[in-house]
Amino acid sequence: MAVDHVGPYVGTQGGQAVMVDAPHAGTDVQIDALSDWPAPTGAARPSELVRRT
């Protein structure tokens, strides 16, 4: 499975979970409700992906 879109989760707004989104090149960045998207296939906290030495 390939990743075809990434949108950072930024918290809640008006009681809805929201993410930062720019659907394709040339589109203004916007805040979208996660409920507008199909079920996500995965999630991660980037800080947990960094290998600490």
Q: What is the pLDDT of residue 46?
A: 63
Whether residue 46 lies inside any domain: the answer is no
Query: Which domain covers residue 13, as residue numbers?
Result: 1-37
Q: What is the pLDDT of residue 7?
A: 78
Q: How far, in Å, CA of 8 to CA of 37, rounded?
A: 13
Whether residue 31 lies inside any domain: the answer is yes
Tokens 């720019």 found at: 22
Whether residue 29 lies inside any domain: the answer is yes
Q: What is the pLDDT of residue 48?
A: 57
pLDDT tier at 50, thresholds 50, 70, 90? low
Whether residue 23 lies inside any domain: the answer is yes
- Identify the residue with better confidence: 28 or 50: 28
Query: How large a percentage of the chain has pLDDT more than 90?
Result: 0
pTM of the full predicted structure? 0.56
Number of domains in the chain: 1
Whether residue 28 lies inside any domain: the answer is yes
Whether residue 16 lies inside any domain: the answer is yes
